[in-house]
Amino acid sequence: MVSPTYYLDPLSTLSMKIITCIEELRDQLRGQLRTAFVPTMGNLHEGHLSLIRLAKRHGDPVVASIFVNRLQFGPNEDFDKYPRTFEADVAKLEKEGVYVLFAPTEKDLYPEPQEFRIQPPDSLGNMLEGEFRPGFFVGVSTVVLKLFSCVQPRVAVFGKKDYQQLMVIRNMSKQLALPTEIIAAETFRSDDGLALSSRNMYLSEQERAEAPALFKELNQIASAIRSGHLNIAELEKAAMAELTRRNWKPDYISIRKQANLQAPSADDLAQQSPLVVVAAAKLGTTRLIDNLEI
Ligand code: PAF
């Protein structure tokens, strides 16, 4: 991995500033009242760039961050092999007109063990992704709050692809009265429907061809519900069975309420409460997540 400090070369022709140190970042952004922030873990693709473009419509200057946050990875997850493509990321952000890239090292962001952490409520943080990735939302909430404290943005943009993450951050921001408005960006998809994700690069050619099947299952469920099929358990079970038949290992496919990600009651269904179908499944060794609002 190329060290971010490489870009602090004074001869650099970049107009975007690359900052690793929190104090320097604060100096650079002092007095900015309309900062729009896009936090990322790097390996940027069109999905991330669409977040940057949305951020531009909501504030100025635009600040992005790249930090692969160890706190949100489980012991058997892909922290070490998570794709790090710093040089290419810098070129993309520069081209989008980002003002500052905050790219702290672990020492900059966690100079001592991060003992104070944000604990989302069990009802939101321990189900779905939280059940399969224990500690994930503690890690995400903690780093996002810390990044907000460094950048002090007026708005921050998060993708709907990580639907539960977006809800956790929204609720955190609301309950802690953070001065940062959370903006949701639509999921960016390839032409065949696959949601863009840094983890797609782990897929073999054959797996990449199979991967859109996940979104297809979500669409099947959505059209069944729209046409009045309200046996939620049956729809979830059928989609899980179909993916299993196709050699996926689904963690969950679950129809939930958009408002709080809880399972809809019969009343909710009768009143046509807005729903979302959320899913996570492994294809080979790659775990993909996706969702579709209904
Ligand atoms: O969605 C991501 O890339 C990460 O979870 C985030 C929000 C940047 C926190 O590390």
Give DSSP secondary structure letters for 101-153.
EE---HHHH-SS---------HHHHSSTHHHHSTTHHHHHHHHHHHHHHHH--
Q: What letter does residue 157 receive in the DSSP assignment?
A: E
In angstroms, the Cα distances linking 197 to 188, 203, 244 are 9, 11, 22
- Using CA atoms, how far residue 92 sits from 34, 54, 110, 192, in Å, is 22, 15, 27, 24
For the chain, the farthest-separated pair of C-alpha atoms sits apart, in whole angstroms, at: 64
Mean of pLDDT over the chain: 95
pLDDT at 9: 57
pLDDT tens digits, one per residue of 260-271: 999 999 999 999
Q: Is the pLDDT of residue 6 over 60?
A: no
Given this model, what pLDDT does residue 13 score? 80
Task: With a cut of 80, say whether residue 12 has pLDDT above it.
Answer: no
- List, for residues 31-46, the tens digit of each pLDDT value: 999 999 999 999 999 9
* Ligand 1 pocket at CB < 6 A: 39-41, 69, 72, 140, 143-144, 162, 165
Q: By mean pLDDT, which of 5-19, 73-87, 146-160, 242-256 is the weakest?
A: 5-19
Q: Report the pLDDT averaged over residues 225-253.
A: 96
Find the 233 Cα to ligand 1 centroid distance in Å: 31
* Paired tokens of 244: 């299993």
Ligand 1 atom nearest to CA at 144? 9
**pLDDT at position 14:** 82
Residue 4 pLDDT exceeds 50: no
Share of the chain above pLDDT 70, in %: 96
Q: pLDDT value at position 2?
A: 40
48 flagged as catalytic: yes
Does the pLDDT value for residue 197 go beyond 50?
yes
Whether residue 10 is predicted with pLDDT greater than 90 in this model: the reply is: no
Q: What is the mean pLDDT of residues 196-207?
A: 97
> Is the pLDDT score of 225 beyond 50?
yes
Order of all β-strands in the sheet with 100-102: 17-19, 100-102, 62-66, 36-40, 155-159, 181-185
- Hey, how many other C-beta atoms are within 10 angstroms of the C-beta on 113? 6
Predicted confidence at residue 11, as pLDDT, reads 58
Pairing relation of β-strands 36-40 and 62-66? parallel
Counting ligand 1 atoms within 8 A of each CB, the residue from 48, 69, 84 with the most, and so the one to mutate, is: 69
pLDDT tens-place string over residues 101-149: 999 999 999 999 999 999 999 999 999 999 999 999 999 999 999 999 9
Distance CA(263)–CA(257), nearest Å, equals: 6
CA atoms within 13 A on the CB side of 187: 20
Amino acid at 206: Q
Amino acid at 150: C
Mean pLDDT computed over 74-103? 97
Per-residue model confidence (pLDDT) at position 238: 98
